[in-house]
Amino acid sequence: MSVLFSPMQVGNLELPNRFVCSATHESMAKETGEVSDELVRRYEKLSKGGVGLSITGMMYVHPSGRGYQKQTGIHADRMIPGLRKLVDTVHQAGGLIAFQIAHCGRQTTKHLIGRAPLAPSSRGRDPMNFVKPKEMTEDEIMEIVKAFGAAARRAVEAGADAIQLHAAHGYLISEFLSPFFNIRTDSWGGSDENRFRFLKEIYREVAKAVPDGYPVLVKLNTNDYTPKQGITPPLAAKYAGWLAELGIDAVEVSCGTTNYSYMNMCRGDVPTAEFLKSLSWWEKPVGRLIIGKLEGQYDLEEGYNLAAAKMIRPVLGNTPLFLVGGMRTVSHMEEVLKNNSADFISMSRPFIREPFLVNQIKEGKMDKVSCVSCNRCLAAVPNEIPVYCYNKGFPKP
């Protein structure tokens, strides 16, 4: 049988195969942040479809870190019943599920939280939301560290099989790690060790909140693609080595930031028309100019994070490595695993289009996923509609 269907251990959890549904913001939660039936159905399908581990879209750990209208919350105990329903449904369908927990930092939506977004530094206005963030105080930093620990406790109470700390894509942990976003000169910035401190303190807080052996994963940026240098593969490798020393159970590599380099995160077509639908009439002319310039610049390259993964792989030792980023052909996936460049294949957009693709690969019915990377599924997010495959365009209102 293909190496893709060999089991592997992550912490105390045995995954039945090497396929992971990478965290994808679903835009399916209730406006209160609670789990909806639609969200439950998404992960039930993935579980029935044979995915080894499904990682949820990022759940906000604190009200100040909510980035999207229909984002799932794990910031309060009242969320636990809905989260438990999600887990129970996945388990009944034969699947495993990890909760990705996050704080959106400077990429938080101001009108949702009623205040300036929090960030390690107040540097500049973001090019997407035009808001200048507030530099966090020591007390605010420690409040968020504690919030991650509390969120981890709720994940365990809900029965989640693992958690993943979101340290990628320009959200708060990623911001602290990045020399572009973090220009502090105190003990939370100014050196690689100090910039890593926020993630280290969060991991320690989380580790206290979960049982021994409970899998704690990290999603890590390998390249920020910001206007000035942020995280690069060599710096990511340094961070990955430190994570392995701390005892992290797996690292998933990714790249790009939502507000500065969105198309680096999800290479392929630029869905200009769909993005423009999310803008008001007076924003559309400028938006058309900005988004239009991106067209044709981000053609999909299969395994576009593979080079960075190969740089990180040696420092991880026995810590499993998840690779996401344009993986499309089965033969290439097998080659990556056989060469020990990664241990698991993570995918996002292919599972949006084909939640049952793992079973189809196992049955020999598929040698390449059918996702064409049109990115209309992800353009659903700014339009506040559920993330589905919209290859033929958004449905009429």
The DSSP call for residue 136 is: P
The DSSP call for residue 116 is: P
pLDDT at 283: 81
Model confidence over 92-149: pLDDT tens digits? 999 999 999 999 999 997 778 888 999 999 988 877 677 889 999 999 999 999 999 9
The DSSP call for residue 6 is: S
pLDDT at 21: 98
Confidence of residue 1 (pLDDT cuts 50, 70, 90): confident
pLDDT at 204: 98
Secondary structure element (H or E) that encloses residue 209, with its range? helix 192-209
What CATH number labels 3-264+299-367?
3.20.20.70
**Which of 13-17, 66-70, 73-77 shows the lowest mean pLDDT across its residues?**
66-70
Residue range 272-277: average pLDDT?
Answer: 92
Model confidence over 336-373: pLDDT tens digits? 999 999 999 999 999 999 999 999 999 999 999 999 99
User: Would you say the C-alpha torsion 191, 62, 381, 98 has a positive or negative sign?
Assistant: positive
Q: What is the largest CA-CA distance in the chain?
A: 57
pLDDT at 106: 95
pLDDT at 221: 98
What pTM does this model have?
Answer: 0.97
Structural domain boundaries in the chain? 3-264+299-367
CA distances from 293 to 271, 272, 275, 287, 372 (A): 12, 10, 13, 10, 21
Secondary structure element (H or E) that encloses residue 141, with its range? helix 138-158
The answer to whether the CB of 129 falls within 8 A of the CB of 113 is no
- Cα 395 from Cα 397, distance rounded (Å): 6
Alpha carbon 328 to its chain centroid, in Å, reads 19
pLDDT at 240: 98
The answer to whether the CB of 152 falls within 8 A of the CB of 101 is yes
pLDDT at 124: 82
DSSP 3-state percent helix, strand, coil across the chain (nearest 5): 40, 15, 50
In the numeric block, the tokens 């893709």 are attached to 4
Nearest CA to 43 out of 94, 103, 104 is that of 94
Q: What is the mean pLDDT of the chain?
A: 96
